[in-house]
Structure 1
Amino acid sequence: MKKEETVDYHIKVVWHAISRMYNQGGLEKGITASSGFVLLNIDIEEGTPATKIAPLLGMEARSLTRMLKNMEQTGLIYREKDPNDKRSVRIMLTEEGKKKRSFSKKAVLYFNDSVRKKVSDEKLSAFFDVMSSIEEVIEENRNIEQQIILIENE
């Protein structure tokens, strides 16, 4: 099978193109695609528990920890103890973080509007269905190493 015939090749190529586009657009604003997505997943008023952000983004907690530390150092976020649970920490947006979040939201909406102008609702619906199915396959095959061993032993 050629790489162009694999599902993951197309997902990877398109995701990298989207990420590059957002990174270039955010360069002047001092944010990356990743930090923009983090900002979009933080509640403007209430903040968001630190433990909830990684799952929202499909990230590993370790990667997010580094990113949050960097975002805190650049003045986009700050940490605050949860008033309802003193053991929990909420990630809050600074005023600068709110501005960058607003920019990120506009960029995402603009891109999505551009896609919707080119792609019919029917095709987008099919795309979302396919992506959901791919996500199910990923969940079913979490331990791919064991799956490969089983296939090799057949």
Structure 2
Amino acid sequence: MKEKTIDYILRATWQAVSRMYNEEASKYGASMSVGFALLSIDKDNGIPSTALGPQMGMEPTSLTRTLKSMEEKGLIVRKKNPVDGRGVLIHLTKLGKEKRELSRDRVLKFNDVIRQHVPQEKLDNFIEVAELINDLIAEKLIFTADSETEKATNK
């Protein structure tokens, strides 16, 4: 059998996790992105709309669709930012706070089941490797060497 690449393993695992959360969320008329947004919004103070996208790692168009859907379902309200009148704060409604707790419970359940099946040492190693991969990507150390070599070769 061929060895699977690291990116394949990451992608396949994330797709499985995403599918699992979407199946669970669909039972409540929601989606994984709605659940993630609920968890990303401060339940007491709300969050500036401009900070939510970067925090969630979502593109503005996807975030706009998600927020519109959440507003239509009565999960959030948009209010003027009292500090900066040009900005908007996203606040959870009472229903939004209830659904946030449901989302939180599902995430904690996922974590509990994984922790029951994976020894702490292996989890620590997994987290360390994932953080290292993120650092390498953030520091643009994956393809930078190739780009520099290509530039030098093409001169």
Q: TM over 0.5, yes or no?
A: yes
**Alignment-derived partner of residue 15 in structure 2:** 16
**Alignment-derived partner of residue 49 in structure 2:** 50
Taking a change above 3 Å as real, the CA distance of residues 126 and 93 of structure 1, as seen in their structure-2 partners, is same
Secondary structure at 1:5 match in 2: coil
Alpha-carbon distance in structure 1 between the residues aligned to 2:57 and 2:131:
14
Normalising by the residue count of structure 1, what TM-score does the alignment of the two structures yield? 0.88
Deviation of the 1:113 alpha carbon:
0.4
Alpha-carbon RMSD? 2.1
Deviation of the 1:61 alpha carbon:
2.4
Matches within 5 A, 1:117-136: 117-136=116-135
**Alignment-derived partner of residue 26 in structure 1:** 25
Secondary structure at 1:30 match in 2: coil
Alpha-carbon distance in structure 2 between the residues aligned to 1:103 and 1:27:
13
Q: Which runs of 5+ in 1 are unaligned?
A: none
Q: Which amino acid aligns with 1:120?
A: P
Q: Which amino acid aligns with 2:68?
A: K
Deviation of the 1:151 alpha carbon:
4.8
Taking a change above 3 Å as real, the CA distance of residues 60 and 27 of structure 1, as seen in their structure-2 partners, is same
Taking a change above 3 Å as real, the CA distance of residues 128 and 143 of structure 1, as seen in their structure-2 partners, is closer
**Alignment-derived partner of residue 75 in structure 1:** 74
Deviation of the 1:129 alpha carbon:
0.8
Alpha-carbon distance in structure 2 between the residues aligned to 1:44 and 1:142:
37
1:101 aligns with 2:127: no
* Kept in 1: contact 2:22–2:32 (CA 8 A): yes
* Length, aligned pairs only: 151
Alpha-carbon distance in structure 2 between the residues aligned to 1:101 and 1:86:
27
Deviation of the 1:141 alpha carbon:
2.5
Q: Which amino acid aligns with 1:74?
A: K
Deviation of the 1:92 alpha carbon:
0.7
* Kept in 2: contact 1:79–1:92 (CA 8 A): yes
Q: Which amino acid aligns with 2:127?
A: F
Deviation of the 1:25 alpha carbon:
1.0
Alpha-carbon distance in structure 2 between the residues aligned to 1:124 and 1:143:
24
Structure 1 window deviating more from structure 2 (105-114 vs 75-84): it is 75-84
* Kept in 2: contact 1:36–1:104 (CA 8 A): yes
